[in-house]
Amino acid sequence: MKASSSIYQDNPIWRFFSSVRLAVFLLITLAITSIAGTLIPQGESLQFYLETYGPNFFRIIKVLHLNDTYHSWWYLILLGLFSANLIVCTLRRLPFTLRLFRRDNLSVDYERLLRMPFKKDWEIKGELDNDSIQSIISAFKDIAGKFHERIDVDGGRLFLAERGKWSYWGIYGLHSSIMIIFFGALVGLFMGFKGNVMLPEGETIDHIVNRQTGEQIPLGFSVRCDRFNISFYDNGAPKEYRSDLTVLNGNNEVARKSIVVNDPLVYRGITFYQASYRAIPEVAVQVAKSDSPRRSLIISAFQKALWPEEQLTFGLMQYLPSVHGSPAAQIWIGDQEGRAGALWLLKGNEKQFKKGEKLYRISLTNANQRYLTGLQVKKDPGVWIVWLGCAVLIVGFSVVFWVPHRRIWLWIGRRKGKTIVILSGQINKNKLQFEKDIRKIEDALDSSLGAR
């Protein structure tokens, strides 16, 4: 272990990647460069950047991929360097930490005990009887806690109360948590997908469209939107968007859920989020040829309605909810020969139109809104890895900064014809509290030695 680490440390590349200076440099660089993507709108069309920023700045944007800063080559290089730095730093520290962890803290000598940062000694003439020694030890144990003992250390007995030695591993938890989070993100990137779908009420889908690639992704089951509902507060602000969804496997209903923002539906690892909605007008008309019976048709915006018997096609061009108190709609009508025309209908007023030689009657009977629910669909098997990384990050951070390695020694022995008692201690963080603890032991020893 030792030999290999010294070879590594002589390698200049290894040294470069293991320096804290590089870490500080990368953190500062990441902080500064990350600003770019918050000032320049991300993910717009190239045309947008050309028009907004002019040809010169546009060239910079294109070369540096500032339209997608956080996935650009240079940002990924920075993150790669950051990861390399993190890993190499960690590996380089490992032998050092192992030595600290394995170190036998009972193998100290008299001289070193006197050089500790916290130290107090007592000189006693003559010898201490067994009872006094016991009372000193129990006073020590009461405050310092469980201890180990070694006899015959420079002619005396040495006691060590040690706590939090494992805390040296906290930094590994803290640093590896970042790598765990990166790993989770990669898993999500390669094994998951994100997509959107606009689903009209009453309709069913069995695939979605990938947001990045535009590819169709089959779900392996289907989802139906039974109802979409929007409610408002008294002041007109939206209160809730709710979609009633049903999951179907073939024709079997296998799950049902009303989803709202912040409460999605999860089925087979795929999550459906309430993201947006659209209301499209839908009108009902009655049509009839000369004096034959009437027939009802429903015409939705953006969709054609067909009257198969007469081979006529209807479309909704415009819709006005209230003209003199009644709804009105402009209807487009086309036939097989490509002849098309449009006419305005007011609810309650019948109109006539001609196609070729035939005469038809049409009237608007009803009008309402039809909702489409906008769903965000996602599969991300890496998300639990990310949460694990976050948990390790918090635990590791707390250990690194708040769990100290504390050592308190007590030596009782004879030197130059005198009995000497030494209390000394060392801690690597939270020195203020430690000082108080040491004082307490001091006072306790003072009184038990004084009472003798």
Taking every pair of Cα atoms in the chain, the longest distance, rounded to a whole number of angstroms, is 134
Phi, psi of 218, rounded to the nearest 5 degrees: -70, 140
Q: Which is nearer to another protein, 33 or 365 (CB)?
A: 33
Region for 449 from its dihedrals, namely left if φ exceeds 0, alpha if ψ lies in -120 to 50, beta otherwise: alpha
Among 313, 365, 398, 428, binds another protein (CB under 8 A): 398
> What single string gives the DSSP state of each residue in 325-341?
TEEEEEEEEE-TTS-EE
**Residue 36 burial (CB < 10 Å; 0-12/13-18/19+)?**
middle
Q: Which is nearer to another protein, 146 or 436 (CB)?
A: 436
x-marked contacts with another protein along 195-234 as a string, rule CB under 8 A: --------------------------------------x-
Q: Does residue number 271 form part of the binding site for another protein (CB under 8 A)?
A: yes
Q: Does residue number 186 form part of the binding site for another protein (CB under 8 A)?
A: no
Q: Does residue number 261 form part of the binding site for another protein (CB under 8 A)?
A: yes
Cα 360 to Cα 312: distance, rounded to the nearest angstrom: 11
Q: Does residue number 401 form part of the binding site for another protein (CB under 8 A)?
A: yes
**Scanning the structure block, which residue is given the tokens 């009977």?**
365
Cα 314 to Cα 343: distance, rounded to the nearest angstrom: 11
Cα 182 to Cα 178: distance, rounded to the nearest angstrom: 6
The answer to whether 287 and 361 have CB atoms below 8 angstroms apart is yes
Phi, psi of 330, rounded to the nearest 5 degrees: -100, 120
Q: Does residue number 395 form part of the binding site for another protein (CB under 8 A)?
A: no
Q: Which is nearer to another protein, 41 or 155 (CB)?
A: 41
x-marked contacts with another protein along 50-89 as a string, rule CB under 8 A: -------------------xx-------------------
Instruction: DSSP letter for 324, please.
Output: T
Phi, psi of 162, rounded to the nearest 5 degrees: -120, 140
Q: Does residue number 46 form part of the binding site for another protein (CB under 8 A)?
A: no
Among 64, 84, 185, 187, binds another protein (CB under 8 A): 185
Q: Which is nearer to another protein, 16 or 70 (CB)?
A: 70
Q: Does residue number 151 form part of the binding site for another protein (CB under 8 A)?
A: no
Phi, psi of 430, rounded to the nearest 5 degrees: 50, 55
Q: Does residue number 273 form part of the binding site for another protein (CB under 8 A)?
A: yes
Segment near another protein (CB under 8 A); pick from 2-10, 137-145, 244-252, 382-390: 382-390
* Rounded least distance, CB 240 to another protein, Å: 6
Positions touching another protein (CB under 8 A) are 20-21, 23-24, 27-28, 30-31, 34-35, 37-39, 41-42, 69-70, 185, 194, 233, 235, 237-241, 260-264, 271, 273, 275, 376-378, 380, 383, 386-387, 390, 393-394, 397-398, 401
